[in-house]
Amino acid sequence: MLKSWDTNLRQSEKKTLFSFFILYSFFIILLLSFISIAYYKTQKDFMLKDKRLELSKYANDEIKRLKYLHVNFDTVPRVYPRDKRFKSGIYDSVYTKIFSLLDSDKVDLNEDIYLQNGDIYYIKELESYYLGTKYVVIEVKDSGVWKRQAYENLVIYGGILLFAMLLMGYFLLYLLLKPMREALALLDRFIKDTTHELNTPVSTILSNIELSESVEVDKRLQKRLNRIKIGAKTISNLYQDLVFLTLSERVERKKEQVDIKKLLKERAEYFSLFLESKKIALKMDLKDGVTLWVDRNRLIKLIDNLFSNAIKYNKMRGGIEVVLRDNYFYIKDSGRGIEADKLEQIFKRYERADRSVGGFGIGLSIVSEIAQEEGLKIEIDSIFKEFTKVKVSW
Amino acid sequence: MRIFIVLVLMLVSLSASVYQKNCVSCHKKLPIKIDKFFYRYLLKYSSAIETKYAMKLYLQNPQKENSILNPALLNRFGVKKKSKLNQKELEKAIDEYWDIYKVFGKLK
């Protein structure tokens, strides 16, 4: 699939977008939850309000029977008045149960009407305490119709509202990000155009220098030619990086068994002039027979970027240590190091821990991208002003 | 024999409770039964603690204002005399009165 560089948001921006969307969704769901709870409570209150009149009538009926029993307590059978329509209980002024037919023993006598475990309780306070009764409690089963209706409405309307708000969030985000997208697209287009213009002159310089190497020249001229070669190779590396970034999706990947020791030596040789120019001592401790099933060109890009950084950020007469073992290799420089708070950011595109030397800040972004695609793990260890060690393991 | 009967009567009078001796004995002579007073108290004070407290307060200091009798009966029978029982005896008598007529445990 062709990568539409101008319109696609890159990985880190997508991550930010995703985080924003998760946060936005969380707040929307939280808001909807509050609305749902409020709606549910309102529906419950409506139901209780509806029931209140009916239960109040039941309570009055019960009070009349209690009154009769109170007046004739010594002449009629002392049977608590029962009713098929409801269950009831009576309590005195200090909440002591006098008699109860209720399902629950825990009744909140301070309430007026409430729902508990599928039962509706209505509490009526008496003015005259028949049989010592201050509170009559009426209990009826809740049919649950209102609850089903409320859940149905919550699912239907809540779902529609959630969908609409998420959609609105998406468009809002799109609008907010538009200027940023345009700025990025402009930058990318500029780099892409520059890349195209770099290819021909760099190739010409490099091929001409290589041609001149067969001719014997005096030392001073050779030194100058070497400087031109370093400069041209630097531009060539940058060109390769930019090509990788802009066209990586279009380049076909070819995996093969790669001898890592051989490759590291080859790339060290490629950078020999750079090392020489800064008088950097290269120490290599490479184990034999370590191979990897990877895309050779991509691994070269990865190693080149690491070498390039190790040289670029190194001091004059510094050192570089390259170590290869069975399941890792690392390149360690004696450079300026990276501050701890910048370590996490350095894999981001255009991010540069040190701006005192040239570059676009795309090197480690490429390293990270290649490592991810080739299944390699990158670890960076650095002490500011002392060293930076990049370990590639598999 | 006469001495024996006197002794039995004395024993019976000694074994009778404070409530029986001091309350029931007098109320027997009244046209309104003692239980009617109890239900009037219950109707007004509801709980054991409040009912007992109201009874004690009235018996220690009987007033028209703190009587539970309706005005017609109050006019007819008047306010009773202050109880001669000490606090402990009074509480004991009221407790017994409560236990006899309370509604708790009597409903089916």
Q: Is A141 exposed, middle or buried (0-12, 13-18, 19+ CB in 10 A)?
A: exposed
Q: Kindly state whether A128 is in contact with chain B, defined as any CB-CB distance less than 8 angstroms.
A: yes
Sheet holding A113-116, edge to edge: A97-100, A87-91, A135-141, A119-125, A113-116
Domain ranges of chain B: 18-101
Return all residues near B49 (Cβ < 8 A) that are at least 6 apart.
Answer: A94
Q: Kindly state whether B51 is in contact with chain A, defined as any CB-CB distance less than 8 angstroms.
A: yes
Higher pLDDT: A211 or A82? It is A82
Q: Kindly state whether A99 is in contact with chain B, defined as any CB-CB distance less than 8 angstroms.
A: yes
The pLDDT profile of chain B, 108 residues, written as one tens digit per residue, is 555 554 544 544 445 788 888 888 888 888 888 888 999 999 999 999 999 999 999 999 998 888 988 888 888 888 888 888 898 999 999 999 999 999 999 999
Higher pLDDT: A356 or B91? It is B91
Q: Kindly state whether B108 is in contact with chain A, defined as any CB-CB distance less than 8 angstroms.
A: yes
Band (A250; pLDDT cuts 50, 70, 90): low
Place of tokens 């700025």: A183
Q: Kindly state whether B98 is in contact with chain A, defined as any CB-CB distance less than 8 angstroms.
A: no
Predicted confidence at residue A247, as pLDDT, reads 66
Task: Name which of B35, B44, B103 is nearest A98 (Cβ-Cβ).
Answer: B103
Q: Kindly state whether B83 is in contact with chain A, defined as any CB-CB distance less than 8 angstroms.
A: no
> Above 80 in pLDDT, residue A112?
yes
Mean pLDDT of chain A, nearest integer: 86
Contact B92, B23 (CB under 8 A): no
* Contact across the interface for B46 and A79, Cβ inside 8 Å: no
Helix (H), strand (E) at residue A136 = strand A135-141
Place of tokens 């809002």: A172
Contact A350, A364 (CB under 8 A): no
Predicted confidence at residue A31, as pLDDT, reads 93
Instruction: Give tens-digit pLDDT for A301-332.
Output: 899 889 988 998 888 899 999 999 999 999 99
Predicted confidence at residue A197, as pLDDT, reads 80
The chain B residue lying nearest A82, using CA atoms, is: B108
Q: What angle do CA A282, A287, A290 make, to 5 degrees?
A: 120
Contact B87, A59 (CB under 8 A): no
A93 to chain B, minimum CA–CA distance in Å? Answer: 5
Return all residues near A314 (Cβ < 8 A) that are at least 6 apart.
Answer: A278, A280, A320, A333, A334, A335
Predicted confidence at residue B27, as pLDDT, reads 85
Task: Name which of B43, B45, B106 is nearest A70 (Cβ-Cβ).
Answer: B43
Preferred mutation among A99, A109, A127, A136 to probe B, highest tally of B CBs within 10 A: A99
Task: Name which of A70, A80, A92 is nearest B108 (Cβ-Cβ).
Answer: A80
Q: Kindly state whether B50 is in contact with chain A, defined as any CB-CB distance less than 8 angstroms.
A: yes
* Contact across the interface for A74 and B104, Cβ inside 8 Å: no
Note which residues in 18-47 of chain B have CB less than 8 A from chain A.
35, 39, 42-47
Preferred mutation among B37, B43, B68 to probe A, highest tally of A CBs within 10 A: B43
Q: How many angstroms separate the CA atoms of A329 and A393, rounded?
A: 6
Task: Name which of A94, A98, A130 is nearest B43 (Cβ-Cβ).
Answer: A130
DSSP letters along A200-260, please? Answer: HHHHHHHHHHHHHHTS---HHHHHHHHHHHHHHHHHHHHHHHHHHHHHTTTSPP-EEEEEH
Instruction: Give tens-digit pLDDT for A157-185.
Output: 999 999 999 899 889 888 988 888 888 88
A89: Cα separation from own chain's centroid: 57
> Above 90 in pLDDT, residue A10?
no
- State the sign of the Cα–Cα–Cα–Cα dihedral A46, A47, A50, A54: negative
Contact A90, A127 (CB under 8 A): no
Radius of gyration of chain A (CA): 40
Q: Which has the closest alpha carbon to A310: A331, A296, A341, A292? A: A331
Q: Which of A13-17, A365-369, B32-36, B51-55 has the highest mean pLDDT?
A: B51-55
Band (A260; pLDDT cuts 50, 70, 90): very high
Share of residues in chain A with pLDDT > 70 (%): 91
Instruction: Give tens-digit pLDDT for A18-28.
Output: 888 889 889 99
* Contact across the interface for A79 and B107, Cβ inside 8 Å: yes
Predicted confidence at residue A11, as pLDDT, reads 64
* Contact across the interface for B107 and A80, Cβ inside 8 Å: yes
Predicted confidence at residue B9, as pLDDT, reads 47
Higher pLDDT: A12 or A143? It is A143
Hey, is B78 helix, strand or coil? coil
The chain B residue lying nearest A135, using CA atoms, is: B46
A59 to chain B, minimum CA–CA distance in Å? Answer: 18
Q: Write out chain A residues lying below 8 Å of B107, CB-based.
A: 78-80, 98-99, 131
**With a threshold of 0.90, does the pTM exceed it?**
no
Reading the block at residue B68, the tokens are 């539970």
Predicted confidence at residue A122, as pLDDT, reads 97
Predicted confidence at residue A5, as pLDDT, reads 41
Hey, is A279 helix, strand or coil? coil
Note which residues in 58-97 of chain A have CB less than 8 A from chain B.
70-71, 73-74, 77-80, 92-94, 96
Contacts of A100-109 with CB under 8 Å at 24 or more apart are: A100/A137, A102/A137, A102/A139, A103/A139, A104/A139, A107/A137, A109/A135, A109/A137
Contact A89, A139 (CB under 8 A): yes
Radius of gyration of chain B (CA): 16
Q: How many angstroms separate the CA atoms of A11 and A215, rounded?
A: 49
Contact A144, A152 (CB under 8 A): no
Predicted confidence at residue A356, as pLDDT, reads 53
Residues pairing with A322 in the sheet: A284, A331
Residue range A258-271: average pLDDT? Answer: 92
Q: Which has the closest alpha carbon to A85: A109, A118, A57? A: A57
ipTM over 0.90: no
Q: How many angstroms separate the CA atoms of A247 and A31, rounded?
A: 44
DSSP letters along B5-65, please? Answer: HHHHHHHHHHHS-HHIIIIIHHHTTSSS-HHHHHHHHHHHH-SHHHHHHHHHHHHHS--ST
Predicted confidence at residue A4, as pLDDT, reads 42
The 8-class DSSP code of residue A384 comes to: T
Residue range A217-243: average pLDDT? Answer: 81
Predicted confidence at residue A262, as pLDDT, reads 93
Place of tokens 């070669």: A229
Preferred mutation among A73, A76, A82, A100 to probe B, highest tally of B CBs within 10 A: A73
- State the sign of the Cα–Cα–Cα–Cα dihedral A45, A50, A51, A53: positive
